A and B are shown apart, each in its own frame.
Chain A
Amino acid sequence: MAKGVWIVAEQRDGALRKISFELASTARKLADQLGEEVCAVLCGSGIEGIAGQLGKYGVDKVFVADNPALEPYTTDAHAMAVAKVVKENDPAILLLGASTQGKDLSGRLVGKFATGLATDCTDVKIADGKLLAIRPMYAGKCFGEIAISSFPQMATLRPNVFAAVENPKAGAVVKFDPALDAGQLKTKVLEIQKDTSGKVDLTEANIVVSGGRGMKGPEGYAILEELAAVLGATVGASRAAVDAGWRPQTDQVGQTGKIVSPNLYIACGISGAIQHLAGMSSSKFIVAINKDAEAPIFTKADYGVVDDLFKVVPEFAKECKKLLA
């Protein structure tokens, strides 16, 4: 009988990523309801030392594969390693992050386990001893409650939505041999070009300040950059701004851009088209600054300011600076 709640933890450059703790805490909650154990799988090279940190967030046991071929992440190597240890232990539930890595890996595992997967979930529960995963569909225009009839029941969790709560457990480290078949390692990472701006990725930021067509041009973003610097935020954009060439594609929030769930999302000069809302509706707190009181963005906003953003934003940055000093 499949048993236990498992997570695939993520690390990069020898540090666990925040999503790993979000996964651990969520798994703990589910496992406590089932009266079962939480186990994590962690793959990489030279990472045995960090595995124990997962214990702090509720993990009982961490299965570690430490092998140079597991760094940097490739689908081939990680899928092989995770599939091996999961098959040997037959968990009931397997959670991954809906991060770039988790999205890439989870589909591959679905193929290996011939099971079902609910992706990019914003809530997960136990109902009648089984996983019930809640996920936005049709760009958040409706939500689906997904049940999975095979094992492991898989889900990926949207980053930044689930709380990481300390709840110390043993976090015992168990090493396993990933039994990598060199002939099956086909993809090669030739180069990693790091973004050296030092800014937190939109999908992981606590605060996002986004600008749209109302910014009038690329220069307009200077006031958003300034505000972002005060708040420790990352700047995003609507597609209108990206298509106009004011901001890079990687800044686009929305249905055909990034899906973000920060604690605070500040939309400046963005009308709130349905495709934009698809990318930010799961933000915990939303502020809209727009001179048009009828703009649809106000239907999603917790706080709205109807005014010229070029007057409001610089003042707002000043006020924040004072408050945060």
Chain B
Amino acid sequence: MNIVACVKQVPDTEAQIKVKPDGSGIEEGGIKWVMNPYDEFGVEEALRLKEKNGGEVTIVCVGPARAMETIRTALAMGADKGIHISDPAFDGADAYTTASALAAAIKGIPHDIVFCGQRAIDDDSAQVGAVLAELLEIPQVTVVTKLEFAGNSVKVIRPIEGAQLLIECPFPCVVTAQKGLNEPRYASLPGIMKAKKKPVDVKDAGALGVSTDRKARVVRFVPPPARAAGKIICADDTPEGKAAELAKLLREEAKVI
């Protein structure tokens, strides 16, 4: 089976994000970069499919030079090879451009199933998987919490508002991974050693023949709207008093109950 897993390098969730004074972007200094947590689920599922059914796992990543580290992490987990799409022209690329680059790279290799994370935790746009599927002209199942391999297709669980769907999707397809799908493994020490020797192809936009034009751009980054300072409810300082005061304020002042 030919399996592809897309990984994005993102700031660690603990990172303090500061908007640059001119609003043109975020301050990158001091940020610790990690593999997008949802991509860890995708890589893990890819490895499990390979371990059970044989085949090969290819990691594909669009990102600057530092993103190589994230590709190596995936290789250390057990993936076989990588494609690193690296071109300064992709800085600030939008989802369409990112997906176009991924699609161009993936079209060039055999692919039965392509994993993405359901969303990247930095830009949170949650669209690359679906755009990629359309550009590859293959079906998609998004936000998947369970996956079963069924010969030439997968059966997956997809939670929606107030229900869970059991969906069957034929190969080739794109699956986007949600928490719950599996428990990603850590890279072992021998894995890390082996990863250093695994092949990673580095390609730029020219080599892939894709346009780096953007359709969407962030005009300005702004800090989150400030919330007015809250009120600490003291009342008569008993739990009962505070509870009564809270109920009253929610009803009469906030008017939300």
- By a beta-carbon cutoff of 8 Å, the part of chain A in contact with chain B is 72, 75-76, 79, 99-101, 103-108, 110-112, 114-120, 132, 135-150, 186-195, 200-201, 203-204, 207, 231, 249-250, 252, 255-257, 263-264, 274-275, 281, 284-288, 293, 298-308, 311-313, 315-316, 318-320, 322-324
- Least distance between A110 CB and chain B CB atoms (Å): 5
Q: Do A138 and B122 form a contact, CB below 8 Å, given A110-B127, A117-B216?
A: yes
Q: Is B160 within 8 A of A101, CB to CB?
A: yes
- By a beta-carbon cutoff of 8 Å, the part of chain B in contact with chain A is 11, 13-17, 19, 26, 37-38, 94-96, 99, 121-135, 139-143, 145, 155, 158-170, 173, 179-180, 214-225, 227-228, 230-233, 239-240, 242-244, 246-251, 254, 256-257
Q: CA–CA, A257 to B180, complex, Å?
A: 10
Residues of B within 8 A of A75 (CB): 130, 139-142
Q: Is B231 within 8 A of A144, CB to CB?
A: no
Q: Is B96 within 8 A of A115, CB to CB?
A: yes
Pick the residue among B121, B127, B244 that contacts A315 (CB under 8 A). Answer: B244
Q: List 9 A-B contacts (CB under 8 A).
A: A103-B127, A117-B125, A137-B122, A137-B221, A143-B225, A145-B220, A200-B162, A231-B257, A249-B145
Name the prevailing secondary structure of the B interface residues: mixed
Q: Is B218 within 8 A of A145, CB to CB?
A: yes
Q: CA–CA, A144 to B8, complex, Å?
A: 20
Closest chain B residue, CB of each to CB of A318: B243
Q: CA–CA, A119 to B124, complex, Å?
A: 8
Closest chain B residue, CB of each to CB of A309: B239
Q: Is B163 within 8 A of A193, CB to CB?
A: yes
- Least distance between A255 CB and chain B CB atoms (Å): 6
- Least distance between A271 CB and chain B CB atoms (Å): 14
Name the prevailing secondary structure of the A interface residues: mixed
Residues of B within 8 A of A110 (CB): 95-96, 99, 127, 130-131, 134
Closest chain A residue, CB of each to CB of B244: A319
Q: Do A264 and B256 form a contact, CB below 8 Å, given A142-B19, A146-B217?
A: yes
Q: Is B216 within 8 A of A146, CB to CB?
A: yes
Q: Is A116 within 8 A of B243, CB to CB?
A: no
Residues of A within 8 A of B244 (CB): 315, 319
Q: CA–CA, A33 to B207, complex, Å?
A: 45
Q: Is B231 within 8 A of A302, CB to CB?
A: yes
Q: Is B128 within 8 A of A107, CB to CB?
A: yes
Residues of A within 8 A of B132 (CB): 111
Pick the residue among A76, A139, A193 that contacts B121 (CB under 8 A). Answer: A139
- Least distance between A74 CB and chain B CB atoms (Å): 8
Q: Do A149 and B215 form a contact, CB below 8 Å, given A103-B142, A136-B224?
A: yes
Q: Is A303 within 8 A of B256, CB to CB?
A: no
Q: Do A100 and B161 form a contact, CB below 8 Å, given A146-B216, A207-B256, A304-B231?
A: yes
Q: Is A303 within 8 A of B233, CB to CB?
A: yes
- Least distance between A304 CB and chain B CB atoms (Å): 5
Q: Is A186 within 8 A of B139, CB to CB?
A: yes
Q: Is A263 within 8 A of B250, CB to CB?
A: no
Q: Is B230 within 8 A of A116, CB to CB?
A: no
Q: Do A207 and B230 form a contact, CB below 8 Å, given A305-B246, A320-B247?
A: no
Other 9 A-B pairs with CB < 8 A, given A110-B96, A138-B15 = A107-B134, A119-B125, A139-B124, A144-B220, A144-B221, A186-B139, A187-B139, A190-B155, A312-B239
Pick the residue among A147, A188, A304, A319 that contacts B232 (CB under 8 A). Answer: A304
Q: CA–CA, A192 to B155, complex, Å?
A: 13
Q: CA–CA, A247 to B17, complex, Å?
A: 30
